[in-house]
């Protein structure tokens, strides 16, 4: 494949650092390297607390479950979600007993169409910054001033809001370090929050709900409350095993050193892509200066044009995929909500959209070559 969706971003230096670490320790589970990576990530992002977990998906579930418990959100409370997002932005909503409310997307952000926001009692707005694009956070906060705002930034590391600061601070945000993302720990994710109480609860829930995962002050307080129980195995809440490993953290620390450069290259590639794309043939979301491009999305004018483009790209050995999962409401696991809302933009994205990978391994010459072939064969 000449142009795959993702490339191997793990360098020989990364591998050697991991080998050196393995030879230097007998501690492989969640330990000092995990804590070091969490601190480094918080410093890079500019948030108070970060928690390293096994994936971006477990990060989403952990965040929702802890927010529901900490803020005493009743079962059945409504959570706003976009019709085009990843499956584990929606599944955790009903898995923790809440009710998803779907909203159509717009083509500027691939996020909530603010003209279609419902006038309902929304407890949580679960934002997805899809494919490195800025969701309309400020407009959503104006519409729902009493809601809690959670942000999935799993595909958008380094995304900046209108004020120039990185997205991801506040009540809660999630990131993914899957193999094909801006940086990788092979598998892994991060939950971030400026709320110290939420952070403590998520630490508990990440590891079975065990008290020994708390900060020393909170740990001492809780073990005094239950003197008849072994403090090493004191379970304070329902929890899971969402831990990652020291191996993944070592990779994360090495990858983080190169993240800013990766983002810079992705931004340059995306700006060239949208500046030179034939707008008579395709539509693509604009560059707003804060984008942190995950890919190059195309919206064709028709299904037939999409098939024509797919054929050209396939002949060039350029790998493609749908825009995430297209209209998520068409998938069987959401049958219950299929007819609750009309989502014509998500439908069009499903029928006419696709994307090509963007990364630090892509360059302007590659993009230029693809554009030339498309123009010659269209």
Task: Enumerate the CATH 3.90.1150.10 domain ranges in the chain, comma separated.
Answer: 260-377
Q: How many Å apart are CA 270 and CA 288, to the nearest integer?
A: 11
In three-state secondary structure terms, 318 is strand
CATH architecture of 12-256: 3-Layer(aba) Sandwich (3.40)
In three-state secondary structure terms, 330 is helix
30-46 pLDDT tens trace? 999 999 999 999 999 99
Contact residues for 129 (Cβ-Cβ < 8 A; gap 6+): 111, 135, 151, 152, 153, 155, 156, 159, 167
Model's pTM, two decimal places? 0.96
pLDDT band at 304 (very low <50, low <70, confident <90, very high): very high
Give the phi and the psi of residue 353 in degrees, each rounded to 5: -105, 150
Smallest CA-to-CA distance from 251 within 9, 7, 6, 43 is with: 9
Which fold, 260-377? Answer: 3.90.1150
Smallest CA-to-CA distance from 282 within 330, 333, 232, 349 is with: 349
Write down how long the chain is.
378
pLDDT (0 to 100) of residue 319: 98
pLDDT (0 to 100) of residue 23: 97
pLDDT (0 to 100) of residue 131: 96
pLDDT (0 to 100) of residue 83: 98
248-282 pLDDT tens trace? 999 999 999 999 999 999 999 999 999 999 999 99
To 10 degrees, the CA torsion angle through 232, 238, 240, 242?
-90
pLDDT band at 238 (very low <50, low <70, confident <90, very high): very high
Contact residues for 187 (Cβ-Cβ < 8 A; gap 6+): 54, 55, 177, 178, 179, 244, 248
Mean pLDDT computed over every residue of the chain: 96
Say if residues 158 and 259 touch (Cβ distance below 8 Å): yes
Q: Does residue 2 register a pLDDT over 90? A: yes
Q: 201: which 2 tokens?
A: 């609860």
* Residues labelled as active-site residues: 181
Q: Any alpha helices (H) in 71-154, and if so which ranges?
A: 87-95, 137-143
In three-state secondary structure terms, 85 is coil
pLDDT (0 to 100) of residue 180: 87
Task: Enumerate the CATH 3.40.640.10 domain ranges in the chain, comma separated.
Answer: 12-256
Say if residues 42 and 175 touch (Cβ distance below 8 Å): no
Q: How many Å apart are CA 326 and CA 121, to the nearest integer?
A: 27
Q: Any alpha helices (H) in 4-132, and if so which ranges?
A: 12-24, 32-45, 56-70, 87-95
């Amino acid at each position: 494949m000449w142009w795959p969706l993702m490339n191997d971003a793990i360098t020989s230096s990364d591998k050697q650092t991991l080998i050196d670490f393995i030879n230097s320790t007998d501690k492989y589970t969640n330990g000092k390297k995990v804590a070091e990576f969490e601190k480094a990530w918080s410093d890079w992002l500019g948030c108070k607390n970060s928690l390293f977990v096994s994936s971006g998906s477990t990060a989403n579930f952990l965040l929702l479950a802890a927010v529901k418990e900490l803020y005493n959100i009743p079962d059945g409370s409504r959570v706003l979600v976009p019709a085009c997002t990843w499956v584990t932005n929606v599944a955790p909503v009903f898995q923790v007993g809440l009710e998803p409310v779907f909203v159509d997307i717009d083509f500027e952000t691939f996020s909530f169409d603010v003209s279609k926001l419902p006038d309902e009692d929304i407890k949580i707005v679960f934002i997805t910054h899809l494919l490195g694009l800025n969701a309309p956070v400020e407009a959503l906060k104006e519409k729902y001033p009493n809601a809690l705002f959670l942000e999935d930034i799993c595909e958008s590391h380094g995304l900046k809001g209108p004020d120039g600061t990185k997205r991801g601070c506040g009540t809660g945000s999630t990131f993914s370090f899957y193999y094909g993302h801006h940086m990788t720990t092979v598998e892994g994710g991060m939950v971030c929050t400026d709320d110290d109480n939420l952070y403590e609860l998520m630490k508990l829930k990440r590891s079975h709900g065990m008290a020994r995962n708390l900060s020393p002050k909170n740990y001492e307080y809780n073990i005094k409350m239950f003197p008849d129980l072994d403090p090493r195995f004191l379970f304070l809440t329902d929890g899971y095993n969402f831990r990652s490993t020291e191996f993944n953290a070592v990779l994360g620390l090495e990858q983080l050193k190169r993240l800013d450069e990766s983002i810079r290259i992705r931004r340059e590639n995306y700006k060239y892509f949208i500046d030179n794309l034939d707008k008579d043939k395709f539509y693509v979301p604009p560059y707003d200066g804060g984008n942190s491009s995950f890919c190059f999305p195309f919206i064709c004018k028709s299904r037939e044009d999409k098939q024509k483009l797919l054929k050209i790209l396939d002949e060039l050995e350029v790998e493609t995929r749908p825009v995430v999962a297209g209209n998520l409401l068409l998938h069987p696991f959401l049958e219950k909500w299929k007819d609750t809302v009309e989502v014509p933009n998500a439908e069009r994205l499903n029928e006419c959209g696709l994307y090509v990978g963007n990364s630090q391994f892509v360059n302007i010459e590659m993009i230029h070559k693809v554009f030339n072939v498309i123009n010659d064969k269209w």
